[in-house]
Amino acid sequence: MPKRERSEKLFEEAKLYFPGGVNSPVRAFRSVGGTPLFIKKGKGSHIWDEDDNKYIDYCCSWGPLILGHANANVVKKLKDTIDEGTSFGAPTALENELAALILKNNSYIEKLRFVSSGTEAVMSAIRLARGYTGRTKIVKFDGCYHGHADSLLVKAGSGLATFGLSSSAGIPEAFAKETIVLPLNDEDALRKTFDFHKKDIACVIIEPVPANNGLLLQSRPFLEFLADICAANGAMLIFDEVISGFRLGFTGATGYYNINPDIITFGKVIGGGLPVGAYGAKAGVMKRISPDGDVYQAGTLSGNPVAMAGGIAQLTECLKKGFYEELERKTKNLVEGIMKDIKADAPFRIFHIGSIFWPAFTSRKTISASSEIDPASMDKFKILHAELLNRGIYLGPSGYEVGFVSSAHSDEDINTTIKAFKEALAIALK
């Protein structure tokens, strides 16, 4: 087993400074056990921890590093920008450049607003939907995560016509009552909800590719149904593409399924590894945002020049011919290579779309709702995760999290990973 003495020491120190020793809960490794790895550096497809152990990285900072770590073009653009200053709280040409790059290659939106995180993008999109419709209630789906804003940290109530319940302390009951939580892929539940709350629902929000609680792939007809029922009832449809945006293709899941929501939220990839988010829509909707309209939203670091520079460099690479096809090829090779010798009745599958994949200990051929995930299967993932770390493969430290393939992953990396996975699975499936 690789030595992790430095990480262990740093974690003990971190507990003196931060709740649980971390600044984001999943990093604490509580789902998989052991000590969190403290990462010292990354290059290409690899990361190194503070004990100088080297790993092939499939977490990719939870998705944004679609070019891998420290991509030369991104680093150069960042350095050139930092030399001129890091923040001004004023407009810069870099904001225009990144916005033009996105809008000229995404026909589903006409204007956007940059913010500093995916959570902020979703929070702002919901405020826009409420302001645009004059309604207050929102519908979300069990198994979709949209950040830690109060109205979104809500779990399902006891029935279809009931409101949500807070899933975190510190959220007033009144906030939770403005959110209705429904099961995924259930058209009848949404029909009944609109029948009951027709005049009150401002928006329906969904990850079109739910990837925060497993990879819960939805059918195209269900996503089309969402668009149709929202339009019929005067509600807005929000696609949360913080993860899927620029991952399945430059136009994300919206383009993949060719379904036009009213508002789209972005994050992750558009910052090149820097903190960033955005939300966009047609011009007629976005004109309601201040200073043009009456829906207020602001941010000192919105459109931060360093984040804009990272996004410009990264998205320019993503637009190159064959970029997404090559990512998908590598991902398919990874999945098929791992599954090649797995017995058909073995309780293990890898679900994937584009360059996103999710290893799951299940016998199901499809999983489209969080209720279909067996919590007991996470015991096997815990073993898998530990054995992969011992073999130099880094996945996110939770069996509910997805993995990502970057353009920096080589065929050699894929083959090394396949071998390591087979060895680790042999132990986890005992």
Alpha helices in 92-186 (DSSP H): 93-103, 118-133, 173-176
Q: What is the DSSP string of 306-365?
A: HHHHHHHHHHHHHTSTTHHHHHHHHHHHHHHHHHTTS-TTSS-EEEEETTEEEEE----S
Count CB-CB contacts under 10 A for residue 23. 10
**Edge-to-edge order in the sheet of strand 349-353:** 349-353, 356-360, 403-404
Paired strand residues for 236: 203
Q: What is the DSSP string of 228-274?
A: HHHHHTTPEEEEE-TTTTTTSSTTHHHHHHT---SEEEEEGGGGTTS
- Catalytic positions are 145, 240, 268
Residues 6+ apart with CB under 8 A from 29: 35, 36, 397
Decide: residue 245, CB within 10 A, 0-12 exposed, 13-18 middle, 19+ buried: buried
Question: What's the distance, Cα to Cα, between the start and end of the chain in Å?
Answer: 20
C-beta of residue 105 within 8 angstroms of C-beta of residue 280: no
Give the span between the Cα atoms of 130 and 138, in whole angstroms: 9
Give the span between the Cα atoms of 143 and 408, in whole angstroms: 30
Alpha helices in 104-149 (DSSP H): 118-133
- Kind of pairing between the strands at 277-281 and 393-394: unpaired
